[in-house]
Each structure stands twice: as structure tokens, then as C-alpha cells.
Structure 1
Amino acid sequence: MTPILSICIPNFNHGQVLGQTLDAVFCQDLNGVEVLVSDNASNDNSMNEINRFSDHPQLRVFRQPSTIPMAENWNYLVKSANTPWIIVLCSDDILLPGSLARLIKAAQSQDAQAVFFEYDFLINQQRVDKVPFYQSSALIPGMRQAEIFLKGNNFPLSACMFRRDLIQQISWFDESKHFCTDWHAWLNMSAIAKQVLYIDEPLLLYRHHAANETNRCVRDLLALEEVIAMKDEFISRQEITNRSILWGACSNNLKLAVLYTNQMAEKGFSNAAEHYRGQASELEQQLVKLGPSPNSIAAGAPYPLPEQAEPVKSANLCLR
């Protein structure tokens, strides 16, 4: 079968867990799949782990001569892919058994340009269930999903499969971003996609630990400013005036500010906590100016499907 899906795995110093990620990929049916790994000049045992799989014909390995920015390494991989569909799999996350065959079948059977799928957490080597984002699997108009992404991002880098030509249309991952690189891509790809597919079945384990890039960006005060600037630019460019969407976007910013305040306080980073506390106060004032909470905003997951979304049965996705 001609490859239709590239699993692109960027790695930097994840040798301790990289073997688990690769094992989970190579134990699956790789018919129609190519696997690309780009090691970002790691100084641990990463290459030893990668070389354990060198006899697999589906594997292509790249080693950067020196460490490059994270998003540049992502782009190096997706531009190297020779397939119409791509998953960028973080080198510490784990695809669940059978997930690749299911995703390929879903891509072939549905008229979508991007696929977002559910995941559970992996914390201290234990699987922790996560509440699904939506009430059911569905085909969703791209712009409707983009409006949801303004109100928050529930999908990490590894939990999306997208067409290569779709990310090319948005000029690849934005290498100027440090924190919301994937969120920025999901927002802008959804906006130009005719439809996106949401799968409510967990197909991934997302590893949660203090060393990941998200926690570093929060600690370094990069996180919230970047998110707010991303949303403001998108809202201006798309000329969005719907109060429910604007309120939801600002409310999510406030939620993040409070979350980061508490996280930094618990970890003893008092200056960072005070920084986010000040941002939370400013965002509270912005919400006051926007008026009371719209009745249409749901309290929590699983959320109702967006307007014009079409529920899809698991049988139609070939998931069971």
C-alpha cells in the first residue's frame, strides 16, 4: 500500500521515554504509514533508542547537527513527509494499539481535512481517564471549530492528524511562537478547512510531566501573552464581532491566568505568580466590559457539538 500517513516524531533529550513512543508505533500495522524521526542534537541516549528500530523499512531518521528551535524541527519533519496526511507525535507520547489503522480508515471514509481525536493522560506511568471534549464524534464545519479554538484548546500536538496541503496553506507551523505553536496551527487550519472530524475515542496517551515545554513557557512568562496576541490577531483578521465568541475567548484567557497563578504559587515562583495575578485582574475588567456571561456558554465538558456539526457513529469511522 502506498503510504498515506506520516508519523513525524521530533525529539530532543527524551531518550528515557522515546523507546516507549517508538515501541507503540512499530508494534502497530504500518501498512500505508511512514515514520520520520528528527533528533534535535540530543545529548542523551536518544540515538541509541532510535537505532534499535533501524531495521524497519518504514523508518527515516534525521539528526540535526545542532539544536534548532522547536517549531523549526517540526517544520523540517512535515516538509520531509511524502504523504497526504501527517501526525506530529511528541517523542514522549504514546499512540494506543490499533490507533493508526483506525485513523487511516477514518481519513479515507470522511470528507475532512483535519482530524482531532481524544486521548487519556499518562501520569507517573499510570493511565488517567480524561473527559471527552464533545458529546459525540462528529464532522464539524472548519470555521465553527476555529471559533471553539478561540475559547480554548483541548488538543495537544499529538492528538491531531491533518493534511499536508492544509498546513502548507497556513505557511507551516509559525516559528515565531514559543508556547501556542500547535494551538495557532489548529486555529488557522480549522478556519480554512471545509470540515474537521472529531473522534471521541481515546487513541493516544498524553504524557504529563513537569519537564515538558508547556510548563517551561508558563514559568518563563511566555504563555499567556502569546495566547492573547494570537487570539486578538485572529479575531481582527476574521472580523469576529459575535459577543459569545469574544466573551468565551476572554473567559478562557482569565481561566489560564488563574491556573498559572496557582501553579506558580504552588511551585514557589512568587514573581511569576504575581505576574499572572495581575493579568487575571486585567482580564476580569475586560469581561466586565463585555457584559454578563452569554447563556450559550456550557459549564464544562463534554460540550454540545458546534452549530452545523453532523454527529458520526463509531461504526461509520471504522473504529470498532
Structure 2
Amino acid sequence: MKVSIIIPFYNCPYIDQAIKSALNQTYKNIEVIVVDDGSTEHVNKIAPFKGRIKYIRKQNGGTASALNLGLRHASGKYFAWLSSDDMYLKDKVERQLGFMEGKGAKISYTAFKTINENNMVINEVHSRAMSLNNFRRTLLKGCPVNGCTVMAEVDLIKRIGWFNEKIKYAQDYEMWCRVSLKTNMYYLGESLVLYRVHSGMGSLNHSIDMVSEADKIKKKYRGLFRLMG
């Protein structure tokens, strides 16, 4: 089964490390798609990898639009999202794909480790396996899913309706809420992603807007989840 690793990129100095971690996977039936969202900096760091990746450049439109464009160009059955400042452990795709095929899962997420600017591990973050109803209840309190740990069937995302490009910062949270209307997200309790915490990360610089978007999402899905029982 081919896995398409999609890396949205916008002026990120760590892009070369992200690409390298994707290309160095032990599971070899992959394609790496870098979607350049109108970057003006660090584009030169992609050049050494151009022969081994799909490189797509577009006008700046935000993470959701970059993910959607990557999905439209994906040829894999599954897709995995990798932020340009994060990294995969070398067996991430192999471990998670094996887990999903064993469970018959259409979508899953994993634990992860946080790292600093110098790739030093700071912390390890775990969630827990939950029933669909418990997962929905947890979503209404906050997002338990790190988007860069997610692997999903491309067809599932297409059927559900792509990432919402009107949501600038919490598009992943809204997507997992929408997914949970249709199916559960399986949890693999292994840390397979290195999530970088640094001064330039969007979740720090746009935290107020993220909270505002998240509150609107909670309000919308509280009612929808109630209807689902």
C-alpha cells in the first residue's frame, strides 16, 4: 500500500530536516509531496531533494489549502501529514500502517515526543485508546490529536470533504470532529513523531486566534454529537 506524506511548507527553516525524515522511512512504498504555500524564505533548502519528491508551489492560502492540494496530487491509498518543522522517526509509517491494517482502521493517530530547536527531546505526550463516544466527549474539551501523528485513507478525507480552508489555525481540530461523525480515530500508543516547540511556531504566535476558532468548533459539534447520541 502506498503512503503519501504531505508536507505543507511556508518559510520554515527546518524543512530540510522534515523532508529527510520522510525520505528515510523504513517503509519504502511512499511518496513525499512538499506543498510550498508561497514561501519567500528557505526555499533553497528543498533543492537537494527535488529529484526524490513531488514539489508543488502555490499562492499563499494557509495550511488547509496546502494539505488539500497535496491530497489532490496524492497517489497513495493512505496519507500522512508532516509539518515542515517536525520529523518522523524512521519506522513511523511502517509501524502505523501495520497497526491500521491489523485493526481495519481508516484513520489513526499516535503519541509523540516534543523537541527543541536543537532536536533535543523535551517531553513525551500520550493520549489513550477511547470508544467513539468517549473520543467525541474528549474533542469537546480540546483536541487530543497531534495532526502530524495522523495517518488516514485518502478516500476517507475526500468523502468527508477536505480540510476547511476558511479555518486558518484550527483546521485539523475541525477535521477530526468531522471524522468522528463517521468513524473512530484509532490510537497507537507509540511515540513516532518529533514535534518541534520553537519561538516561530504558529500555535504560539496565533494562540488567541486558535482559541477563538476552537471555541466556535466546539459550539458547532456539541450539537451535532448530541444528535448522534
TM-score (normalizing by structure 1): 0.66
Shift of 1:39: 0.8
Q: Which residue identity lines up with residue 45 of structure 2 in the other structure?
A: E
Is the contact between residue 8 and residue 35 of structure 1 (CA under 8 Å) also seen in structure 2?
yes
**CA separation of 1:151 and 1:85: change in aligned 2, threshold 3 A:** same
Q: Percent identity?
A: 22
Is the contact between residue 181 and residue 225 of structure 2 (CA under 8 Å) also seen in structure 1?
no
What do residues 117-171 of structure 1 show as CA deviations (whole Å, max 9, x unaligned)? 010101232111224222xxx4x44443222211221322211111212222321
Aligned partners of 1:86 and 1:147: how far apart in 2? 26
Is the contact between residue 84 and residue 163 of structure 1 (CA under 8 Å) also seen in structure 2?
yes
More helix by share: 1
Aligned partner of 1:49 in structure 2 is: 45
1:1-320 to 2 correspondences below 5 Å: 3-14=1-12, 16-46=13-43, 48-56=44-52, 59-64=53-58, 66-125=59-118, 126-134=120-128, 138=129, 140-193=130-183, 195-218=184-207, 221-239=208-226
Is the contact between residue 13 and residue 43 of structure 1 (CA under 8 Å) also seen in structure 2?
yes
Q: Which residue identity lines up with residue 113 of structure 1 in the other structure?
A: K
**CA separation of 1:168 and 1:143: change in aligned 2, threshold 3 A:** farther
Q: Which residue identity lines up with residue 219 of structure 2 in the other structure?
A: D
Alignment length, in residue pairs? 228
Is the contact between residue 146 and residue 186 of structure 1 (CA under 8 Å) also seen in structure 2?
no
TM-score (normalizing by structure 2): 0.91
Choose 1 or 2 for highest CA Rg: 1
| Cα RMSD, aligned residues only | 2.0
What do residues 71-90 of structure 1 show as CA deviations (whole Å, max 9, x unaligned)? 11111111221222111110
Q: Which residue identity lines up with residue 159 of structure 2 in the other structure?
A: Q
Is the contact between residue 109 and residue 146 of structure 2 (CA under 8 Å) also seen in structure 1?
no
Q: Which runs of 5+ in 1 are unaligned?
A: 243-320
Aligned partners of 1:238 and 1:157: how far apart in 2? 21
**CA separation of 1:150 and 1:63: change in aligned 2, threshold 3 A:** same
Aligned partners of 1:241 and 1:41: how far apart in 2? 40
Q: Which runs of 5+ in 2 are unaligned?
A: none
